[in-house]
Structure formats: C-alpha cells, structure tokens
Amino acid sequence: MTRTYLDYASTAPLRPESRAAMVEWLRKEEPLRGDPSRSHFEGLAARTALEDSRERIAAALSVRPRQVLICSGATEAIATASFGATNRRAGREQDTSREQGTSGKHSVVSAVEHSAVTKWADRGESTTVPVDETGRVNVGDVAEAIRADTAVVHLQWANHEVGTTHPVPELAELCTESEILLHVDAAQAGTQIAEAVASGADLTSISGHKLGGPTSGLLILRKGLRLPPLLVGGDQERARRGGMEDVLAAVGLAAAVEATCSSAVEEAERSRHLCERLISWADQRDGVTMVGNREHRAPNIVCLTLDGIEPQPVLMGLDSAGIAAHSGSACSSEIGEPSPVLQAMGVDAHHSLRLSVGWDSTEEDVSRALDVLDRLLDELGSLRKKP
C-alpha cells in the first residue's frame, strides 16, 4: 500500500540531503571515535565537523556561528531559553549588547503556547495572554501583561495545531523598548525559520526533526547575549551546554537547515497551494470547518473541526487507507484531553483533525486524502443517523 504522510507538524521524514551528510560522516571510521574537546587527530576531526556544521547553520540563517547553540531538540532549546532568561544575574554584566534593568523571574506567555513553554512558565510566576478566535495574540494585550519584574516574553512563530502566526516583529520592538527578552518558539516555522530568526527575537528555538533533519534542535541567541546554562558539567558549546556534543546529529542538522533555507520559497508556495486545496474542500463540505487565521498562517498546517464526529475513527480510517494525520495536540493527545489550544480559542476542542504537509508532499497526497475523507465522513455520518 502506498502511504501518504500528512503529519509534518509532528515530525518530517528525513531529507535526502541530511541522510547523505550523515551517511558520509558514518563512513569515516577514525573521526567517529573522537571527542570534539580533545586535541588528538580523532578529536580534531570531530571538532572540525562540528564547527563546520555550526558555520553552515549560521550562514543559512544569516547569523554568526557563536550565536548558534546546538541542542538535543527544540524542547531542550526552549528549556535553555526559559531557564536562562529567568536566571540571569541581577547586574547582567554578561550581556554586552544592550543595557539591562533589574533581573526578574516573571514571564509572559500566550494562551496557545506549546506545553514545552507553558510548563517552564508554570514553574515560576507568569501571566497568560489570551488569543482571539483565530488563535492570534494581540500586541496590546502582551504590553499590558508586562511588569517591572518581567524577564521574558514567550511567543511562538506559528501555532502547532492551527498554524496561526503571530505579530512577532511588532512584539520584538515592544520587548526591546521594555528592555526584556523575547523568546520565539520557531519549532513550526518550517520554511520561515530564517525569517523567524531575523524577526528581532533575543532567543529563537528551532526543531531539527521538523525540518527533515535528525532529532536535534537549535537555540539562536541575539548577538552579545549570554545566559547561564541549563545543562552544567563541561564547557562544551562555549560553556553554554554541558555534555559531549552529538557530531552526527549536527552534521545532519546542518544539511537540513541548508536545504530548508535554500528551497524555502518553492516549498512554501507548494505547501500553501496544497493547504488551500484542503481549506477549499472544508469550505464546501457540510459539517467541516477550518479553524485558525486565514490571513496570518503557516503555509503547511490546516486544522479542521468535524461537527459531531469523533476524531479517532477518522484517524483510524485514514491510517487504514494509508494516510497519516493527527488530531489535537501532538504532545498531549496520548492522555485523551481536549486540545488546550482550541479551548483557548473558544472553538470545538474535541473534534479536530490536523493535516500538515512538507518538503516531499504532492498533489496526489492531498487528492488521496480528500477522497478518503469524503468516504469516511459519509460513512460515519450515516451511522449517526441510524436509530
């Protein structure tokens, strides 16, 4: 059976460029034994590969290599940003690029942030900012939530369930004026990762596996910004992350970032076109509603609500037909709770279906999914009508 993958918002298939880069590295026997912190041949070979990967990532994102912190994933990058932002020394003498005020522990988050952000915010004092019915935050509401002791504002580039994007550049200006840090969760930025990094954010977290790379992540720091490390131990990553570096993951990640950025325009246009087909179908199908912002949105994510139809039989029917999709939050659905994102938007949080496309999605993928969805919804709808 031909499989159709429409769950890119969870993770993306490995890009051929990333696979090729890692295979090439694995063929080099001696460097695989090397610790990048050592000065022998094997260690220097590993260090060369690691720093070459960092430089390639930096070039693709138009930043300096020292701004690139390579992590195990976006979750670690978010944790590092959250911990570091609220634990900087009061004098902030480490930060050389901007005069800073008094250190604070308070954070501001939107009501639709990923749990990797909200659970860190919940560890301290935080204020949650509401969103409108499309899942978009208002800059004025964020401004009102900022206090004298606010250390950081967290705002995602694009929502992980409905794809709605936020006014990040405007918020970056607000945070600069208020002399507080802005962390942007760009895990769902996809082809817009370079744009997210250039938005004015102080900290930008990026997921490697959602770009078609290995399970890995990045935290991009504003030039001159230094934070206390979350992971302590050795002085790896310029003393910003203890622990021996995963050189193989860095090699694959660099290739994925390069491929994403180099093909960003073409991939975004194709993804937008495919998602418009899904949205047009939803607009014409009774009992199906597209949720999220139609103007401000990621090009590759569509969230639908199914009137009166539970998502599980739909997902099972799709999977049986060879189609991978998802419902609700990618990280909380296992516990069977309604989507907190859709609840915050004030829409049906129990009957959602998320379809997301990516670097190798095709017209045939969408056509096959729509054909199966029509059949499944007809069948489930007829069952509801039976006494």
175 labelled catalytic: no
d(Cα 71, Cα 215) in Å, to the nearest integer? 10
Question: What is the C-alpha separation between 190 and 207, in angstroms, rounded?
Answer: 9
Contacts 24+ apart (CB under 8 A), 373-378: 373/281, 373/314, 373/318, 374/285, 376/313, 376/314, 376/317, 376/318, 377/285, 377/287, 377/288, 377/306, 377/309, 377/314
Rounded (10°) CA dihedral 43, 44, 46, 49: 170
- The one-letter code for the residue type at 364 is E
Dihedral class, residue 44 (left if φ above 0, else alpha if ψ from -120 to 50, else beta): alpha
Structure tokens at 363: 């017209």
Count the helices and strands in the chain (H runs, E runs): 13, 12
3-state SS class at 86: helix
Which of 71, 175, 261, 331 is catalytic? The answer is 331
Active site residues: 331
